[in-house]
């Protein structure tokens, strides 16, 4: 296990990414075109235009995905948190310093954003979640991508590993994570507002819940981004939120890959000022992981990549470069 102290993180410049650059000399760039999102009962009647593509999961669910950069470079698939869509990673995907080194892929997980929002129990089995990721991987032709799960999005990695061998991925990045649905690693402040996530009988209380939760994620978000996050919550049926909280999964294969075989590297990132996640509870879950790196980013809120974008970028890219150089 490698624990990097704050002073070392601040003092470390971005490592030479020779191993990344060596993957390809291609200068081709991918940016998905704008597409129309046609309102249907499956997507909660959303009608909009957005840059990206739809991929079809194994059960027919339409998953919205988006990618930026050079597809021949190492890929990182970003998975967002609860009640918020992949647009939460806009500042990462619009940053040319990221695109210089890696191919960035993201998608709205089922029940979120521009993707379909099924409200039957069968649609929320663990395998369905893994199949969504698989559909994105196939669509972009990815081979052994890295996967980054932010907040509740980290639970999806548990599903992915249940149905794949360790070498399906190059590595896991936990960012302010909840690793499993069966654990509650959130602060008392989040626990206090959590019951309001599934409210259907009181609009005012639901609004207050989402505002309070977003304020905990970051106390000073830029206004347009703040409204976009609240809008994501608005287009999610409360029945979907119920399934997200109640769905089950097994972490056996995940822990086998990390704690027994030791073949899957893990980077765990925490925000030094995160008001949502209790770091020690997460570390208890991943204790025994053989190839584990832990970084606490000073001054970072739950939105680590928004509050400290440069340190977040350096942390991830340095680690990716190190893994690929082995």
Nearest CA among 20, 148, 27 for reference residue 86: 148
CB atoms within 10 A of CB 118: 21
Can you tell me whether residue 115 is helix, strand or coil? coil
User: Using CB atoms within 10 A of its CB, is residue 199 exposed (0-12), middle (13-18) or buried (19+)?
Assistant: middle
Can you tell me whether residue 294 is helix, strand or coil? strand
Host H or E run for residue 62: strand 62-69
pTM of the model: 0.93
Residue 218 is encoded by which pair of tokens? 């970051």
- Give dist(CA 37, CA 35) in Å, integer: 7
- Give dist(CA 109, CA 82) in Å, integer: 9
Whether the predicted pLDDT of 60 surpasses 80:
yes
Give one DSSP letter per residue of 179-234, joined into a string. Answer: --TT---B-HHHHHHGGGGG--S-HHHHHHHHHHHHHHH-TT--HHHHHHHHHHHH
Question: What is the pLDDT, as a whole number, of residue 1?
Answer: 74
Q: What is the mean pLDDT of residues 105-128?
A: 98
Q: What is the chain's mean pLDDT, rounded? A: 93
Question: What is the pLDDT, as a whole number, of residue 26?
Answer: 39
Whether the predicted pLDDT of 20 surpasses 80:
no
> 86 Cβ partners below 8 Å, 6+ apart?
64, 65, 66, 78, 80, 106, 107, 108, 113
- Give dist(CA 31, CA 70) in Å, integer: 9
Give 245-278 pLDDT, tens digit per residue: 999 999 999 999 999 999 999 999 999 999 999 9
- Give dist(CA 240, CA 258) in Å, integer: 30
Q: Which has the minimum average pLDDT: 12-16, 92-96, 140-144, 297-301?
A: 12-16
Read off the pLDDT band of 5 (50, 70, 90): low
Nearest CA among 274, 213, 272, 270 for reference residue 82: 213
Whether the predicted pLDDT of 3 surpasses 80:
no
User: Using CB atoms within 10 A of its CB, is residue 33 exposed (0-12), middle (13-18) or buried (19+)?
Assistant: exposed
Residue 238 is encoded by which pair of tokens? 């409360």
**What is the CATH T-level fold of the domain 2-324, as seen in this structure?**
Rossmann fold (3.40.50)
Are 107 and 66 a contacting pair, CB within 8 Å?
yes
Question: What is the pLDDT, as a whole number, of residue 28?
Answer: 59
Question: What is the pLDDT, as a whole number, of residue 16?
Answer: 52
3-state helix, strand, coil in the chain (%, to 5): 45, 20, 40
Whether the predicted pLDDT of 120 surpasses 90:
yes
Are 157 and 147 a contacting pair, CB within 8 Å?
yes
Q: What is the mean pLDDT of residues 53-81?
A: 98
Give 147-200 pLDDT, tens digit per residue: 999 999 999 999 999 999 999 999 999 999 999 999 999 999 999 999 999 999
- Percent of the chain beyond pLDDT 90? 90
Whether the predicted pLDDT of 8 surpasses 70:
no
Look at the chain and count its residues.
326
């Amino acid at each position: 296990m490698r624990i990097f102290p704050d002073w070392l993180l601040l003092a470390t410049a971005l490592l030479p990414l020779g191993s990344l650059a060596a993957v390809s000399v291609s200068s081709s760039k991918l940016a998905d075109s704008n597409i129309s999102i046609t309102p249907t009962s499956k997507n909660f009647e959303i009608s909009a235009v957005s840059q990206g593509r739809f991929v079809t999961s194994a059960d027919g669910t339409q998953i919205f995905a988006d990618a930026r950069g050079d597809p021949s470079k190492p890929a990182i698939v970003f998975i967002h948190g609860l009640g918020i869509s992949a647009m939460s990673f806009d500042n990462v995907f619009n940053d040319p310093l990221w695109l210089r080194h890696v191919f960035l892929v993201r998608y709205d997980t089922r029940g979120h954003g521009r993707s379909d929002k099924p409200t039957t129990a069968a649609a929320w089995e663990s395998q369905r979640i893994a199949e969504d990721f698989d559909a994105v991987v196939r669509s972009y032709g990815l081979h052994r991508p890295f996967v980054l799960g932010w907040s509740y999005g980290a639970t999806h990695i548990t599903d992915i590993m249940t149905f794949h061998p360790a070498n399906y991925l190059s590595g896991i990045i936990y960012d302010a994570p909840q690793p499993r649905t069966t654990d509650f690693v959130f602060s008392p402040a989040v626990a206090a507002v959590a019951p309001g996530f599934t409210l259907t009988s009181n609009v005012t209380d639901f609004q207050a819940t989402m505002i309070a939760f977003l304020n905990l994620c970051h106390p000073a978000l830029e206004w347009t981004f703040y409204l976009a996050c609240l809008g994501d919550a608005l287009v999610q049926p409360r029945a979907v939120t119920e399934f997200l909280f109640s769905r089950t999964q097994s972490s056996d294969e995940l822990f086998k890959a990390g704690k027994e075989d030791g073949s899957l590297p893990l980077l765990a990132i925490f925000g030094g000022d995160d008001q949502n996640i209790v770091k020690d509870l997460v570390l208890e879950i991943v204790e025994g992981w053989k190839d584990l790196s832990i970084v606490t980013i000073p001054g970072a809120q739950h939105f680590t990549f928004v509050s400290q974008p440069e340190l977040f970028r350096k942390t991830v890219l340095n680690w990716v470069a190190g893994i690929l150089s082995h």
